[in-house]
Structure 1
Amino acid sequence: MVRRRSFLLGASALPLVGAGLAGPLDAGRLAADYWMRTMSSGGNDWHDATLHSGVMALYKATQDTRYRDYTLAWANRHNFALRSSSSNPHFADHQAAGQAYLDLYEDNPEPRRRAAIVREIDATIATGRVDYWWWCDALHMAMPIFARLGKAEYGDRLYRWSRQRLWNNNLGLWWRDSRFVNRNIYWSRGNGWVLAALAKVLEVLPQTSPYRAGYLADFRAMAAALARVQRADGFWNVNLGDPNNYPGPETSGTAFFTYGLAWGVRRGVLNDATYRPVAMKGWDGMLRLALQTTGRLGYVQGVGQQPSDHQPVGRNDTTNFGVGAFLLAASEVGRL
């Protein structure tokens, strides 16, 4: 019990001590149950797709079928279909639901659970285009799906196109899109999307994959950059390049970073002594400030694309994708 308690609380007396939480998965349950109790499970675009990716991670970590059934009801309501746009075909945001659909397929391999996402990815590849991922968020929305469906070669072509344009190799961070290139604006959640994407892809790529070494190098470069700019309270600012640009705690980027770093430590691709403290500091910070005793997760920046969006970010600001990111972090920290 002492060891589990240290993962959750560190050495500090947190507001959630009185809630009876014994470990990270309890914190994940608290946040998930609050959302399931008070909010809609919503549509099948990237917002709820990210939520349900986190819910399914919590299901896998706890084996509590309530979480799987919640996501299954959502997927059934949408008939395991994807959103589409005639003016913007093969848009990564519209493919994101495929991650939760594939989780459900792995739980019960009914063909209909993966049919729509298989058709969509095959149709994307058939176009021969590699310029679909023009903003860094897209890597999280779609890249893990390519890897999971055995289409890593084409996914790598898409990744390389994005990386060539949006990756700052000197800093180990990503610009959100072409408007920010060569500006000192490295949006926290944008980089969080990428770190989470790399963790999810590396989780499923074979050790013999020719793409693995490149992804690991980028993952490690990001981890080193993130360790350098973590706040004293465990969070990361919305602008990783400038701590004075809308400073303050922000949960969605912090949760994705915590998830990715914890995954890297657990999988042995990041040095334990260096990065476990960084991941746990992020986790403890979210419990101290963001997760309320009711289960509401605060300090989540709303839908946006840069540090200035939805400012100021407050204690009660929450979103479905922020909760999804937190559930990914809880599930991964719980496995350490």
Structure 2
Amino acid sequence: MVRRRSFLLGASALPLIGPGTALAAAGPLDSGRLAADYWIRTQAVGGNDWQDATLHSGVMALYRATNDTKYRDYALGWANRHNFGLKSSSSNPHFADHQAAGQAYLDLYEDTPEPRRRAAVVREIDATIATGRTDYWWWVDALHMALPLFARLGKMDYGDRLYRYTRQRLWNNGLWWRDSKFVNKNIYWSRGNGWAIAALAKVLQVLPQQSPYRAGYEADFRQMAARLAQVQRSDGFWNVNLGDPNNYPGPETSGTAFFTYGLAWGVRSGLLNATTYRPVVTKGWDGLTRLALQSSGRLGYVQGVGQQPSDHQPVRANDTSNFAVGAFLLATSEVARL
């Protein structure tokens, strides 16, 4: 299948490199607002699939970072439009992409704990567990779509079993193959790995310190961080193939935004050494705001829905998407907190 919390700081929140521009010099939350406001202004309210689910996960992160209720209300309008429901498929039950909207629903529930805001999510995760199957997550994207739900609902005894199935098949020394088609090939898709590190960051934010699973997730997170730092481009971006910089090289925003989010959280939480990784975060954020974020608020250089580096090439300055805006807003919320 093809697929694809907070205080306002000023412009001095992170040191900048290079000559600087007005956008790069703006505070992180100003950049986040610019991107979110552009999307809200120019796009219709979308569906409850994985793409808009990722957008609204970022929108809710921006709401928590700014306390601006217009972002919460935007996400709430989207959730109400779908009755806080999840997509379903009789031919592909308990599909992680269809569960992804639950993350934003749980964010809204935590803001206002009305039972209906989490009811469908709880039913779906319990139904997944009831099957006893652990082979649902055959592609790496699924980790981001669904694993945080198991952690947030206190269901990690089962969530970890699902994670281990994926890890056993797709993990290779700190990076992930997208799915079985790429195993033992030097193709490590940037956004696929972005999904993974974002999933680990989200899980670790809610996993209790005493959890028997925590040490394993921390180790995987640190190993990913070390590999990512090694392959970052000089302009702050990551190429679409982390294993081969000559395979469709060029800036790409969605993977870079997820990496910036995950690594920024790692530094802020103390899981990653600040001396080593803060410069990586700084370069990533600097690249995103210097090149990808336009003065209008349009977020460009986004590889479209796909599964490998060759999809939707070339990646152009005006190419954008909802899921990348969500990733950028997640990065915004963590960079601001540094």
TM-score, with structure 1 as normaliser: 0.96
- Count of residue pairs the alignment pairs up: 330
Distance in 1 (CA, whole Å) between partners of 2:14 and 2:45 is: 27
Instruction: Give 2:229's aligned amino acid.
Output: A
Residue 327 (structure 2) aligns with = 325
CA contact (8 A) 2:261 2:330 kept: yes
Partner of 2:72: 68
Aligned twin of 2:6: none
- Consecutive aligned runs of 4 or more in structure 1 exceeding 4 Å deviation: none
The answer to whether residue 59 in structure 2 is matched with residue 55 in structure 1 is yes
Please give the alpha-carbon distance, in whole angstroms, between the structure 1 residues aligned to 2:297 and 2:21.
12
Q: CA distance change for structure 1 residues 249 and 298 in 2, over 3 Å: closer, same or farther? A: same
* 1:8, distance to aligned residue in structure 2 (A): 5.6
- Counterpart amino acid of 1:138? A
TM-aligned CA deviation for residue 217 of structure 1: 0.3
* Uncovered stretches (5+) of structure 2, i.e. residues with no partner: 1-8
Q: Which residue of 224, 229, 232 corresponds with 2:231? A: 229
Q: CA deviation at 1:28?
A: 0.2
Which residue number in structure 1 is paired with residue 197 of structure 2? 195
Taking the TM superposition and a 5 Å limit, the aligned residue runs for 1:181-260 are 181-260=183-262
Spell out, residue by residue over 1:292-314, the C-alpha distance to the aligned partner (whole angstroms, 9 max, x if none): 00000000000000000000000
Match of 1:132 among 115, 131, 136: 136
SS at 1:241's partner residue? coil
The 5 A counterparts of 1:5-24 are 5-7=11-13, 10-17=16-23, 22-24=26-28
Aligned to 2:92: 88
Deviation at 1:15, TM superposition (A): 3.6
Q: Distance in 2 between matches of 1:26 and 1:104?
A: 23
For residues 332 and 204 of structure 1, what CA distance do their matches in structure 2 show?
Answer: 15
Q: Bigger relative contact order, structure 1 or 2, given CA contacts below 8 A and separation 6+?
A: 2
CA distance in 2, matches of 1:273, 1:11: 16
The percentage of aligned residue pairs carrying the same residue is 81
Indicate the residue corresponding to 1:151 in structure 2.
155
Kindly state the Cα deviation for residue 40 of structure 1 after the two structures are TM-superposed.
Answer: 1.7
Partner of 1:118: 122
User: Which residue number corresponds to residue 305 of structure 2?
Assistant: 303
Please report how far the alpha carbon of residue 9 of structure 1 lies from its aligned counterpart in structure 2 after TM superposition: 6.3
Provide the secondary structure at the position in 2 that maps to 1:247. coil
Q: CA deviation at 1:268?
A: 0.2
Unaligned runs of 5+ residues in structure 1 are none
Contact kept in structure 1, 2:53 and 2:101, CA below 8 Å: yes
Shift in Å at residue 81 of structure 1?
0.3
- Does the aligned pair in 2 maintain the 1:166–1:177 contact within 8 Å? yes
Secondary structure of the residue that 1:248 maps to in structure 2?
coil
C-alpha distance in 2 between matches for 1:160 and 1:296? 38
Across the aligned residues of Structure 1 and Structure 2, the Cα RMSD in angstroms comes to: 1.2
Q: For residue 208 of structure 1, what is the amino acid of its counterpart?
A: Q
In structure 2, distance between residues paired with 1:15 and 1:185:
34
2: CA distance, partners of 1:88 / 1:22: 45
Aligned to 1:292: 294
Which residue does 1:28 correspond to in 2?
A: 32
Q: What CA distance in whole angstroms lies between the structure 1 residues aligned with 2:15 and 2:214? A: 34
